[in-house]
Amino acid sequence: MNKAKKLLYSQKIAPYVFVLPFILSLLIFWLYPLVTGITMSFQDVTFGGKAWIGTAHYAKLAGDKFFKIAVLNSVEYMALTLLLMVPIPMLLAVLMESRLTKARGVWKVIMYVPALTSVVISGLLFRLMFSEGVNGQMNVIMAAFGKPAQAWLKSKGTGWCALLLLCVWRWTGVNMLYYVAGLKAIDTSLYESGDIDGANGWQKFRYITIPLLKPTTVYVITISVFAGLSMFLESFMIWNGNSSPKNIGLTIVGYLYKRGIEKNDMGYACAVGVILMVIALAINFAQLLATGTFSLKKKKGE
């Protein structure tokens, strides 16, 4: 009894006690459903049960026109959000931390606020602002310029404006704060030695700030890649449902939803999910390799 207690309190066993909840949760709430989900992608799932059909779902996916649209939309959305959500917040953070900006605290507090609203509420706000009705904000602006009201959400160009604006609106502040935090970790003596070497502002930014912000950039990119690829609710709220004109708002997860839930084909939906997982892992893996951040061991050593 006493021995058992002693063992429990030993340094050898203690770490396992600490991580036990994680191991349990991993097995029960992640691994088991994941394996079931992947298995289902090889099955025909009906109310009656499941029947093996091999790779038929994947063969069908290869020729599925709408899946192609969904993948292209998701990848395009991811690429555009990366283009917007990495450089802009970085520059803003640098500007924010420069001595030039006054009342920083206030700006920081305000810029984070959009992230606190749920997608449901913020999506609703944006849909109403981009409404076809004459009272929608965008049409009020058009009217001020003497232009007729537009159906903003019916074509891809203007519809995606709303979609990307929603993303920029919600996440610029958050990403900026990540960069602000990253900047604070940079040793100021580096800039001082830069001054001594006669570097100008741009050179210091290019050769000191950007390289030293790399860990932050990698973190932001990793998160954005997955968030971009798995975007669904934003599109769902902007177009008030999973159907958008000419499928301009159809994403991979939206298609998964459409197949699995709206058309009751869970097996096919799981195949879509598996492909999404593969794409996300591949892009993130490539990105981490390219930036040289991959080796986890090295990371821990730091």
Residues 67-86 close enough to bind another protein by CB under 8 A? none
Q: How far is the CB of 3 from another protein (least distance, A)?
A: 16
Q: How far is the CB of 87 from another protein (least distance, A)?
A: 15
Distance between CA atoms of residues 41 and 217, nearest Å: 35
Look-up of token digits 């990253």: 182
Stretch that binds another protein, among 27-35, 73-81, 156-164 (CB under 8 A): 27-35
Contact 291, 214 (CB under 8 A): yes
Q: How far is the CB of 158 from another protein (least distance, A)?
A: 13
Of 87 and 245, the one with the shorter C-beta distance to another protein is: 245
Residue 193 in contact with another protein, rule: CB under 8 A:
no
Residue 289 in contact with another protein, rule: CB under 8 A:
no
Q: How many residues bind another protein (CB under 8 A)?
A: 136
The correct pick among 9, 55, 164, 193 for binding another protein (CB under 8 A) is: 9
Residue 221 in contact with another protein, rule: CB under 8 A:
no
Helix segments in 63-103, DSSP class H: 65-85, 87-97
Residue 94 in contact with another protein, rule: CB under 8 A:
yes
Beta-carbon count within 10 A of 30 CB? 11
Contact 163, 238 (CB under 8 A): yes
Instruction: Report the run of H or E that residue 198 belongs to, with start and end.
Output: none
Over the window 135 to 154, marking each residue x when it contacts another protein by CB under 8 A and - when it does not, the resulting string is xxx-xx-------------x
Q: In the window 269-288, what residues touch another protein (CB under 8 A)? A: 269-270, 273-274, 276-277, 280-281, 284
State which amino acid sits at residue 27. Answer: L
Q: Cα 29 from chain centroid? A: 22
The correct pick among 53, 59, 193, 201 for binding another protein (CB under 8 A) is: 201
Residue 231 in contact with another protein, rule: CB under 8 A:
no
Q: How far is the CB of 60 from another protein (least distance, A)?
A: 9
Helix segments in the chain, DSSP class H: 2-8, 14-26, 32-40, 56-62, 65-85, 87-97, 104-112, 119-129, 137-144, 156-184, 189-196, 201-204, 210-212, 214-229, 233-238, 252-257, 266-290, 296-301
